[in-house]
Structure 1
Amino acid sequence: MSALPAVRLRTGRDGPPRGRHPWLFSGSLESPDTDLAPGTAVDVVDSNGAFVARGLWNPHSQIRVRLYDWRPDGALDDEFWRKGIAAAVAHRRDADLLAPDGGCRLVFSEGDGLSGLTVDRYARTLAVQFTSLALWERREVLLDALRRELSDAPGVDGAVLRTARGIREEEGLDISDGPLFGRVPDGPLEIVEGGVRYGVDLRTGQKTGAYLDQRDTRQAVAPWGAGRSVADLCCYTGGFSLHLARAGAHSIRSVDVSAGALERAEDNARRNGLDGWLADGRWTLERSDAFRWLEARREEGVRFGMIVLDPPTFARSSRGVGQALKGYARLNALAVDCLEPDGILVTCSCTGRVSAEQFLEVIAGVERSSRRRIRVIGRLLQPADHPVSPTCPETAYLKCVVCRVGS
């Protein structure tokens, strides 16, 4: 018999937790306003008192309990967290993703069974995000486990805390970004991805500094841009653009709403010996909202041989899915209007609440409304360091569809 306090589910609400989905919201609980301290380990039981799962309690969060263990005899002790970190790092090592000068996601929250913890590795420095108050309270054992698992070559010099937007309020976290241990670079550090060099600013860059989830996609789609005029929308620091330039694109126009991101994209161009592209106008960096920029190009009658769309998430909850789908439809329709016949559209969605099937239906809708023949020639998902939990569909968040657009 467990000595942990029990949190009881409402009648008929045991399906998702028994199915090993890791989030329990307040509406699923019979008595959500318990006096338990935030971070307390609890047993979740069904309406008859039978054990369902074990997790960590947080009365401040919409996710009242994050579930981690479905074994009645399990324990959320220090050894449990050490084993979780060890398994996550071993997977990346087995996948040969720990190159000394590379970047990869070491811990992918629910995808690694560690809901509320994300760790990205940039060469010898870690960027850490806690989206769970309970795991923040267990940070010492988690960080110690990371140091231990990475003690072999290439090793790690330090770690910095990066907090996701709004998470302090959502989780009741009182934390500030800054070094967690060791030495952290004051300015951008450099990583290499498929022969391309990136400067990554771990203190001010979006997310943890870079978008590692598009690593495979950037390299896979680059050959399609050879000889084509390319528009790279929501380009951030030029990830797709750099690979497209190396693959022989005729010209590139990179667009982002962030002036800081464009400054880093210009720095990345120089890191890769592409100063000449900037000087002679083959590669231009333009600050604009993607929708307005495409509308202007459509009015001008400008057409491209390839357009890349990699916007930020359009919905953070299920309530926003309808508007997100409308946004994707409008953005992709504008892009198709700006493509030459036989042009290539690379369109991405990182909205976890939008399924791959829904996103493909958006493309189908654009074909119908534009009356242009669209054929999907590639479908790409997130890489191996962003593993998908089949019991948590939200982890399968990244979709990339490559299309050939006819006349």
Structure 2
Amino acid sequence: MPVHSAGSTARVVIKPRKALPFFSRHPWVFQGAIDRIEGNPAPGDAVALTAHDGQFIAWGLFNPISKIAVRLYSWDEAYTLTESFWRQRVTDAVEMRKVLFPQQGPQDASRQIYSEADGLSGLTVDRYGGWLMVQLTSLALANHKEVILDSLRETLQPEGIWLRTEKGIRAAEGLELTDGLLWGQSPPRPIFIAEHGVRYGIDVAEGQKTGFFLDQRDNRRRIADFVRDKRVLDVCCYTGGFGLNCLVNGGAAEVTAVDASEAALTQARSNAELNGVADRLKTVKQDAFKSLEEFHSKQETFDTVVLDPPKLARNRQGIDAALRGYYSLNRFALGLINPGGFFVTCSCSGHISHEMFADMLSQSALHADRRLQVLEVRGPAADHPASIHCLETNYLKCYLCRVL
């Protein structure tokens, strides 16, 4: 599909009184905000976004198939979306990670590009040792992938680049992409990484996201400071990130790890063996809601509970249902914690605000007849920055609490 230059005459004109968010640099222009389209832009074309009075707002990429009809990248009329623009954006993102991680070794893992937060809406890149995992969630940006891949090769010199696509994104964006090798050598399965002294085997080809939840890096390590000789329940454990930190760095007496995926639990057990703590890890294959209900019915208790469920709200229409789900999970979890114990509860739903989450947690504690002390409100690791212009990037909420 041809990609036209940023000098295209196509214009997307915003409805009256709808332009303020885009002047304020929010990067998503939904179909409902558009008054008209002047010209005949094709998917992936650069377009000028203008206010109803003709005032220039920003340069963006057009996709009539997506609910996000235009993704915005440059608010400088002279700074158009040329190849050099994309190269500079990739370089800027990678250079910031070099500041955060000045010595990235063959077993280090980090996020190199985080979509809107790095001014590259629709692109996520994670690095696992010598391999890059690329997620493209925008058809418009995917049409520029060759210059982006070339920039990644230049700046990071990987051994291989592998494409991962999110569930449902092909239909939502009209993308015709298939997971697999984009360049270089295929990654080993598993890839082994080390984080805070804990080793993990990761399946970057089939695992969730790009294989691991790098955003929880520092939160995993922090909870380990509270669990020495304690009994820990890790709900939605995936491949054991929180639980293994409790065992390896925290000296927990035992961890019960719950997940609905047998593949994830198999990898968690392998990771426990890799770190010499398999004798203190018990795995349970079960849905999070059912497992908490069963522990409650058996009157089983723990000194610490970690609750890190998958995204429950994928759009604004799903907020109410998601809050009900979070409420049920948190209420049951709180009822399992011994007095004076600790509770780590998380949400990765960007549509759930911190205020919504805190209110839900308050109601859960009230109905579980527990008093909560919030010790820390934490977010993602620094390689997952948030854009102040796009608060949806401030998605991860991690509350470290003491339960009384």
- Aligned-partner Cα distance in 2 for 1:174–1:367: 46
Distance 1:225 1:328 in 2: 24
Cα distance in 2, alignment partners of residues 274 and 219 from structure 1: 16
What are the superposed Cα offsets for residues 157-207 of structure 1, whole Å, 9 maximum, x if unpaired?
A: 011000011010011011110001011224111010001011111111111
- Secondary structure of the residue aligned to 1:30 is strand
Per-residue CA deviations over 1:339-362 (Å, capped at 9, x if unaligned) read: 111111100000001111211111
The one-letter amino acid of 2:168's match is G
1:163 equivalent in structure 2:
165
Task: Please tell me whether the aligned partners of residues 97 and 104 of structure 1 are also in contact (alpha carbons under 8 angstroms).
Answer: no
**Residue of structure 2 equivalent to 1:272:** 275
- Pair 1:33–1:309, CA change in 2 (3 A): farther
Q: Which residue number corresponds to residue 311 of structure 2?
A: 313
1:290 to 288, 291, 308: 288
The alignment partner of 1:376 has SS state of: strand
| SS of equivalent to 2:57 | strand
State the shift of 1:368 in Å.
2.0
Specify which of 96, 110, 114 is matched with residue 108 of structure 1: 114
For residues 355-366 of structure 1, the aligned pairs below 5 Å read: 355-366=353-364
Unaligned runs of 5+ in 1: none
Correspondences of 1:298-337 after superposition (within 5 Å) = 298-337=296-335
Whether the 8 Å contact between 2:12 and 2:38 is mirrored in structure 1 is no
d(CA) in 2 for partners of 1:265, 1:379: 27
Choose 98-107 or 247-256, whichever is displaced more: 98-107
Q: Which is worse superposed, 24-33 or 233-242?
A: 24-33
Deviation at 1:377, TM superposition (A): 1.0
The answer to whether the Cα contact below 8 Å between 2:243 and 2:257 also exists between their aligned partners in 1 is yes
Give the letter aligned to residue 261 of structure 1.
Answer: A
CA contact (8 A) 2:25 2:389 kept: yes
What secondary structure sits across from 2:270 in the alignment? helix
Counterpart of 1:261 in structure 2 is: 264
Counterpart residue identity of residue 268, structure 2: A
2 CA distance for matches of 1:32 and 1:225? 58
1:88 is paired with a residue whose SS is helix
Cα distance between partner residues in 2 of 1:355 and 1:288: 28
CA-CA distance at 1:223 after TM superposition: 1.4
- Cα 1:324–1:33 change in 2 (3 A) is farther
Moved more, 2-11 or 39-48: 2-11
SS in 1 for 2:376: strand
TM-superposed deviation, 1:33: 9.8
Cα 1:259–1:393 change in 2 (3 A) is: same
Deviations 1:303-337 (A, max 9, x none): 00000000000101111111111111111000011
Which aligned pairs between 1:107-126 and structure 2 lie closer than 5 A?
A: 107-126=113-132
Report whether the alignment pairs 1:239 with 2:241.
yes
In structure 2, stretches of 5+ residues that fail to align are 1-5
One-letter identity of the residue aligned with 1:170: A
**Which of 372, 377, 380 is matched with 2:378 structurally?**
380
Matched, 1:248 2:246: no
Match of 1:63 among 64, 68, 87: 68
Q: Please give the per-residue CA displacement for 1:127-167, whole angstroms capped at 9, x wherever unaligned.
A: 0000011111111100111111114xxxx101100001101
- The answer to whether the 8 Å contact 1:315/1:351 transfers is yes
SS for the counterpart of 1:31 is strand
Among candidates 6, 10, 13, match of residue 15 of structure 2: 10
Find the aligned partners of 2:257 and 2:87 in 1 and give their Cα distance. Answer: 43
Deviates more, 1:369-378 or 1:255-264: 369-378
Residue in structure 2 matched with residue 340 of structure 1 by the alignment? 338
TM-score normalised by L of structure 2: 0.96
Q: Does the 8 Å CA contact 1:196/1:242 hold for their aligned counterparts?
A: yes
Q: Identical aligned pairs, as a percentage?
A: 43
8 Å contact from structure 2 (residues 7, 80) kept in 1: no
User: In 2, are the aligned partners of 1:4 and 1:41 still within 8 Å (CA)?
Assistant: no
CA contact (8 A) 2:89 2:119 kept: yes
Q: 2:146 aligns with which of 140, 157, 180?
A: 140
The answer to whether the Cα contact below 8 Å between 1:225 and 1:249 also exists between their aligned partners in 2 is yes
- 1:2, distance to aligned residue in structure 2 (A): 5.9
Distance 1:259 1:33 in 2: 52
Residue 46 of structure 2: which of 22, 41, 45 is its match? 41
Which residue of 2 is the match for residue 202 of structure 1? 204
Which runs of structure 1 show a deviation greater than 6 angstroms over 4 or more consecutive aligned residues?
Answer: none
Distance in 2, matches of 1:4 and 1:142, equals 24
Match of 2:58 in 1: 53
* Cα offsets for 1:18-43 (capped at 9, x unmatched): 11000000000012697421001000
Alpha carbon RMSD of aligned pairs, Å? 1.4
Say whether the 8 Å CA contact 2:11–2:37 is kept in structure 1: no
Residue aligning to 1:75: 80
Amino acid at match of 2:207: G
| In 1: Cα distance, 2:385 partner to 2:306 partner | 24
